[in-house]
Amino acid sequence: MMAERMTTSRIMREVILALIPGFAVFAVLYGPRVPIHVALACLAAITTELICLRLRGETWRSAVQVLRDGSAVVTALLIVAAVPPAAAFGISILAAVIAIGLAKHAFGGLGRNLFNSAMTGYAMVLVSFPAAFSLWPANPDGLTGATMLDVLKHDAGRTLSEFTGHPAFGDYGAAGFELMALAWLAGGLYLLWRGLIAWRIPVGLLITVAVIAVLLWDGGGSESLGTPLQQWFAGGLILAAFFIATDPVTHPRSKQAQWCFGFIVGVVVMMVRAGGSFPDGIAFGVLLANAFTPWLDRRFP
Amino acid sequence: MIAHRALSARYIYSLHPESTWVVAQGQLVVCGEVLAKGVRFEHASAAGVITSISGNTLILETTPDEQSVQMQPLNGGNSAAILRRIQEAGIVGLGGGGFPTHLKLLAAARKRAQTLVVNAVECEPGITCDAALLQENQATVHNGIDAVRTLLELKSIHIAASDKTDFEYHAGSTTVIRQPKPTDGAERYLVERLTGETVPVDALPVDLGVVVLNVATLHAVGQALQGVPLTTRVVTVFGENQWVRIGTPLTAFSNAPLVCVGGELSGADISTTGATDKRTNSIQTARGFLNLPCIRCGACDDTCPEQLPVATLVSLAAGQAQSTVRDTASRCIGCGLCNPVCPSSINVAGLVRTLRDSQRAEALRTNNIVRAEQRYLRHTSRMAAEELAQAERRANRLARLNPESIPISSSHDG
Amino acid sequence: MTAVMVGLAVAGLTGVLLAFANWRWPASESDLINGINALLPQTQCAQCGFPGCLPYARAIAAGEAPLNLCPPGGKTTHEALIRLLPDHDRGNPPVEPSPVTAFIDESRCIGCYLCIPACPVDAIVGAKGFMHTVLTKECTGCGLCVAPCPVDCITLEDVVIR
């Protein structure tokens, strides 16, 4: 009679499915630390959720039922995707605990959180342990080194063509990063095709980033941030655009509001990339845009 | 042949606030006897004894003798007689609205309606009572339409039907809608589809000269002219069509605590302690909403045919937001398409309906308040003016009696 | 140090701007009174002790009356008034009576015209020596007509809600 009913756990299942290509590349490139991070972060997320649900008055049985919606696992996965594998395992565990315990359940649980829970956890460990976040290996051999954004920011003397010669880079992002970004993109396009995410947000975000990159372009000289495409493939932008900013609970509902949301994230990301002391501003961009969501919903119903 | 449901041991009737019972506890009644009179008439749907009248509820315990009574057939009556007959037969909108049909036709006559739309589209999945009725009782439906033609000077008659029937009133009168979408039977959309006229949001089809009647209502009108009051109707019971007497207790259909009445999209899950009434057109398994937290996925927004901000209305109904879109809830047509797509199994349509009702009540309250304030201001100024006029009359009278004592401040000549 | 200076400067500038706005577009007292009156149910029943809703609003604005004197407004009005004036003396929420409407027993009415001027919303129609009747749609149930009737033919009936 009717199509098979979509449930929250089915949606989460699709998201996990869409994350698989990216995680596969992630694990192949960066070794066995990746699945260990995944396992530990998921365990931490699930345990935190169980404890929080008990504290909120659920029985063990009903708590397990709630767990089955899969949202805690998705949060954990997004945190692991953002944290460098070389970082201590405790970092992703801590981020997961904060994300689930503070950002999600302290606000009322699924559907009631104001801020993206994965980004809250990630932002807190980012500002608390900044050194751990420059530990992205420059190439698949696992040697630690700077990320492309790090290099762009701190090596102001080099021109763009000198960059692309640096071992960290392929033609667009760093070689490994390019592949991962493409894998995230594949997953993101899958989610778009399934109609599970609001397309205006990733599109708005990417367009904003591209436009600002063009505006700040100085012909490939030493002060520039790179081409739009380089910006897109740098850091976790593709992951953020399709998986993080599109968390339905924390973004606004209407068309215009969603364009604004994508714009805000893009602007903050580029501001941090251009002038902030952190190499990437995705977490801050998403969190700030989350803060605007209730007003955007009121202003553009 | 549509089967008749077996006689139940008891039947339960509800009294509308604008009607009054005309029978007493302990009284023996026969099938078709009048139980309540007023704007809405109620009739006993079986012979039996009235075991209880308590407030608005009457319980009838049946006796097996199945006696019944009818009215005189009405042949060639004038408009007033036909309308009275429709009222006395207890006919209300059987498509689900339950509005008194004689009032609807009276309004249509006043507005000189020229178009009749017979709604047999039946777009709700799983309900087939209208199509079955139309197929089997074409003559009576025909008579019902004839009766409406006597009341109104109709220029065109449209019958909207699904492809399960071959009914035609006259050549070309029937439009078949194949595989209707769940919104196809909604009055507003149907009128636009058949006549090309758009019914404004705050208006009714009758304001455009179009009267829309459900086919079961017209069948009941046809029966009323033959003398049969409305005591039974076709109901789709778990997919099977049956003639079900009005007032059948819901426990006769299911042992579950809840059943879904009115269709799985636009209906409601109601407790089986109740009974069917004239509006009940289907009985199905209760939907059983889990009402998990809303994840703001927006699936409900995407399915709404009126493009309402459903997700926002849901958070409004849950008391989670203030919003300027509150009054869009009144545009909800109740199609229920937002329910099956919700991943959290929330009764979205139900929440919007609650919001719409409370919003209507609030609008009424505000309306009354504004009105009262206007009348108060007029009252105070009227009183002040009267006092002033009174003072002037007194001054005049005194002046006439005693010319020397004209007050200096008087404003008239001697 | 610079941060402190900047912070102070911003605060000071904002203060100046606000003061200017207050001087250029002052909130008038009648705005407040109208705002309060808009929250009252306009039954004009005088149960608050004031001869109408506007007088009660004026009293509240002047700080001479608590917020809980309006029974027809009930909890809704009380809560709305508290939201508007959170520091005002609020008292306990009033008990809201069920909706009633006045009803004139026509077999007793002598057409004396005493109830008609008493009705603050002119919901009674009639003339001297002629039958009086209540327009139920306009009646707010304030009950001010009951006392003036010399033959006690007016009662307050529960409103039937459809």
Domain spans of chain C, in order of start: 27-84, 98-162
CA dist B205 and B211 (Å) reads 6
Mark residue A226 as left, alpha or beta (left: phi above 0; alpha: psi -120 to 50; beta: remaining).
left
CA dist B305 and C76 (Å) reads 34
Average pLDDT over residues C111-129: 92
Mark residue C152 as left, alpha or beta (left: phi above 0; alpha: psi -120 to 50; beta: remaining).
left
pLDDT tens for chain B, 414 residues long, are: 889 999 999 999 999 888 889 999 999 999 999 999 999 999 999 999 999 998 889 999 999 888 888 888 888 888 899 999 999 999 999 988 889 999 999 999 999 999 999 998 887 888 889 989 988 999 999 999 999 998 998 898 998 888 777 888 887 778 888 778 888 888 888 898 888 888 887 788 999 999 999 999 999 999 999 999 999 999 999 989 999 999 999 999 999 999 999 888 888 899 999 999 999 999 999 988 888 888 888 889 889 988 888 888 888 887 766 667 777 888 888 888 999 999 999 999 999 988 888 888 778 878 888 888 889 889 989 999 999 999 999 999 998 887 665 566 555 554
**Which of C70, C113, C116, C122 has the most B C-beta neighbours within 10 Å, making it the best mutation to test the interface with B?**
C122
The whole-angstrom distance between C15's CA and the closest CA on chain B is 30
What is the pLDDT at residue B33? Answer: 93
Does residue B243 sit in helix, strand or coil?
A: strand
Average pLDDT over residues C62-71: 88
Write down the ipTM of this complex: 0.76
What is the pLDDT at residue B97? Answer: 84
Indicate yes or no: CB of B301 within 8 angstroms of CB of A297: no
CA dist B84 and B355 (Å) reads 37
Nearest of B194, B192, B122, B195 to residue B164 by alpha carbon: B122
The whole-angstrom distance between C8's CA and the closest CA on chain B is 35
The whole-angstrom distance between B373's CA and the closest CA on chain C is 5
Q: Are B5 and B248 in contact (CB under 8 A)?
A: yes
What is the pLDDT at residue B170? Answer: 81
Count residue pairs from A and B with Cβ separation < 8 A: 61
CA dist B88 and A286 (Å) reads 66
- What's the DSSP call for residue B330? G
Q: Which residues are paired to C157 by β-bridges?
A: C101
**Which of C34, C39, C40, C42 has the most B C-beta neighbours within 10 Å, making it the best mutation to test the interface with B?**
C42
What is the pLDDT at residue C162? Answer: 44
Nearest of B194, B203, B221, B208 to residue B140 by alpha carbon: B221
The whole-angstrom distance between A293's CA and the closest CA on chain B is 12
Average pLDDT over residues C76-92: 86
The class level of CATH for C98-162 reads: alpha beta
What is the pLDDT at residue B94? Answer: 93
Of the pLDDT bands very low, low, confident and very high (cuts 50, 70, 90), residue A221 is: low
Indicate yes or no: CB of B17 within 8 angstroms of CB of C52: no
Chain C residues with CB under 8 Å of B380 CB are 52, 120
CA dist B334 and B182 (Å) reads 10
Q: Are B269 and B286 in contact (CB under 8 A)?
A: yes
Average pLDDT over residues A192-203: 93
Tell how many helices (H) and how many strands (E) occur in chain B. 9, 17
Average pLDDT over residues A17-40: 92
C101 in reach of chain B (CB within 8 A): no
Q: Which residues are paired to B13 by β-bridges?
A: B58
Indicate yes or no: CB of A111 within 8 angstroms of CB of B126: no
Exposed / middle / buried, residue C118 (Cβ in 10 Å: 0-12, 13-18, 19+): middle
Average pLDDT over residues C34-54: 85
Residue C86 has pLDDT above 50, yes or no: yes
A65 in reach of chain B (CB within 8 A): no
DSSP string covering chain A: -PPPPP-HHHHHHHHHHHHHHHHHHHHHHH-THHHHHHHHHHHHHHHHHHHHHHHTT--HHHHHHHHTT-HHHHHHHHHHHHS-TTS-HHHHHHHHHIIIIIIIGGGTSTTT-SS-HHHHHHHHHHHH-GGGGG--BSSTT--B---HHHHHHH-TT--HHHHHHSTT--SSS-HHHHHHHHHHHHHHHHHHHTT-S-THHHHHHHHHHHHHHHHT--SS-TT----HHHHHHSTTHHHIIIIITT-GGGS-SSHHHHHHHHHHHHHHHHHHHHHSSSS--HHHHHHHHHHHHHHHHHH--
B340 in reach of chain A (CB within 8 A): yes
CATH of the domain spanning C27-84? 1.10.15.40
- The pTM of the whole model exceeds 0.95: no
pLDDT tens sequence across C51-61: 888 889 999 99
Indicate yes or no: CB of C121 within 8 angstroms of CB of B383: no
Of the pLDDT bands very low, low, confident and very high (cuts 50, 70, 90), residue A230 is: confident
Chain A residue with minimum CA distance to B308: A301
Indicate yes or no: CB of A69 within 8 angstroms of CB of B292: yes
Q: Who's near A34: CB < 8 A, 6+ residues apart?
A: A23, A26, A27, A80, A85
Cross-chain CB nearest to A1 (options B125, B299, B341): B125
pLDDT tens sequence across A50-98: 999 999 888 888 888 888 888 999 999 999 999 988 889 999 999 999 9
Q: Are B392 and B384 in contact (CB under 8 A)?
A: no
Cross-chain CB nearest to C122 (options B369, B370, B378): B378
A5 in reach of chain B (CB within 8 A): yes
What's the token pair of residue B369? 């308040």
Q: Are A18 and A74 in contact (CB under 8 A)?
A: no
